[in-house]
Amino acid sequence: MIESAFDFRTRFGNRYFPNPIFTASGCAGSGRELSNFFDLKELGAIVTKSIAVKPRSGRATPRMAETPSGMLNSIGLQGPGIDQFLENDIPWLVSKGARIIVSISGETVEEYASLARRLRGIAGLSGVEVNISCPNVENRGLVFACDPIASRAVVELVRKNMGGDYPMIVKLSPDVTDIVAIAREVVSAGADALALINTVLGMVIDIEGMRPKLAGITGGLSGPAIRPIAIRAIYQVHSAMKNIPILGMGGVVSGRDALELIYAGASGVSVGTATFGNPTAALRIKSELEVLLRDKNFTSLEEAVGAAHD
C-alpha cells in the first residue's frame, strides 16, 4: 500500500522540527537514560532539565509523591550547573544527532542573563526554553511567571544576551489569575513561543505521620490530573495570539491526549510524567498521533493546530 503524503513538521521561531513530540523538561534529564531505549533523533526535540548557573543538589528528600492520576515533585532544580552541562551534555546530545532545546532557570534576572550569554552561539542548539515558572523555589516571590513585570524583565534580558540565533520559548505557570496577560507581556518582551504549562502547586499530607509527605512541603503536580488545566491555558492563550506557537504539556499519555492539546492550539506536545511509567511513551504517542491525524484526513499537523477554535 502506498502511504499518502503527510507533513508532520512543526515550527518554533526560525526552526523546523520533523515532528511535534518533544520530551518535557525535567522528565528525561539530558536524554542519556532514554537513549538506552530509542534513538533520540526520533523525537522532535529533547528538552533538557532546567539548568542553573551553579551545580545544585536540589531540595531535601522525600521529593516525589504519587497522587490520584498524578505526581507531585519538589526536586528544586537539581543539576550540574551550566559549565558541566555545556562540557558534557551538549556534545553528547549533538553526537546523538538529537535536536536540543536547553531549558534555563535562575533565581535572579542577572542569573538568566548570564545563562543566556553562555548559550549565545553554541553550535547544535535548536532552541532555548526560559523556565520562569519553577514552583519549587524557597521563596514563592521568585516565581517570575506570577508577575508580569518580573517576567518581562527576564525575557528582555535573555533576548538581549542570547541574541537571535535560536527561538526563545518561555515556560509559564498555570498558577496565575490571568495567564493571557502574562503571555502577552512575555511575547511583547521578545519571546518567540510559549511552553504551557509548568506543574500546578500542590501538597499531600501523610495521615499516619500527620506531616506533609514532601520535605519541601509543597510541590509541582503533573500527570493526567492536570491535563484539563493545560487544555484551558493553551486554548485561552491561542485564542488571544493565534500566531505565537505553543509547546503544550500536561498529562499527555496517548496520541489522543496529544491531539487534544493540538486542537486547543499547541504546535508541539511535550511528554513528561508518562515517561516515568514507560520510557518509550513519547515514541508511542508520536506514532499514535500520526495515525490519528491521517485517519482524520489531515494532510499536515499544521492544519490541526487550534482546530477546536471557531
202 binds ligand RRO (CB under 6 A): no
Site string for ligand RRO, 124-163 (x = CB under 6 A): -------x-xxxx---------------------------
What stretches of 85-195 show up as alpha helix (H) in DSSP? 90-95, 109-119, 148-162, 179-188
Element (H, E) at 292: helix 281-295
Q: Which CB atom, from 10 or from 131, has the smaller least distance to ligand RRO?
A: 131
Residue from the set 31, 44, 70, 76 that interacts with ligand RRO by CB under 6 A: 76
Residue 35 lies near ligand RRO (rule: CB under 6 A): no
Question: In angstroms, rounded to a whole number, what is the distance separating the alpha carbons of residues 130 and 149?
Answer: 16
CB of 152 to ligand RRO, least distance (A): 19
Is residue 251 involved in binding ligand RRO (CB under 6 A)? no
CA distance to 18, 35, 132, 256, 297, per residue, from 261 (Å) = 18, 26, 21, 9, 18
Sketch the per residue contact string, 92 through 121, with ligand RRO: x for CB under 6 A, - otherwise. Answer: -------------x----------------
Classify residue 66 as exposed, middle or buried by CB count within 10 Å of its CB (0-12, 13-18, 19+): exposed
Least Å from the CB of residue 143 to ligand RRO = 10
50 versus 275: smaller Cβ distance to ligand RRO: 50
Considering the rule CB under 6 A, would residue 223 count as an interface residue with ligand RRO? no
Distance of CA 250 to the CA centre of its chain: 9
Select from 74-82, 92-100, 149-157, 255-263 the region that touches ligand RRO (CB under 6 A). Answer: 74-82
* Interface residue with ligand RRO, options 199, 267, 270, 273 (CB under 6 A): 199
**CA–CA separation, 295 vs 201, rounded Å?**
37
The candidate with the shortest Cα–Cα distance to 309, out of 268, 263, 256, 269, is 263
Rounded to 10 deg, the angle between the 255-264 and 227-240 helix axes is 30
Please identify, among the stretches 75-83, 89-97, 260-268, 284-292, the one whose residues bind ligand RRO according to the rule CB under 6 A.
Answer: 75-83
Q: How far apart are CA 104 and CA 93, in angstroms?
A: 17
User: How many amino acids of this chain bind ligand RRO (CB under 6 A)?
Assistant: 16
Task: Select which of 24, 47, 119, 134 is catalytic.
Answer: 134
Q: How far apart are CA 211 and CA 203, in angstroms?
A: 11
Tell me if residue 134 is catalytic.
yes
Residues 39-58 that bind ligand RRO (CB under 6 A): 50
Should residue 26 be labelled a site residue for ligand RRO when binding is judged by CB under 6 A? Answer: yes
Closest CA to 144 of 188, 106, 117, 197: 106
Residues binding ligand RRO (CB under 6 A): 26, 50, 73-77, 105, 131, 133-136, 198-199, 220
Active site residues: 134
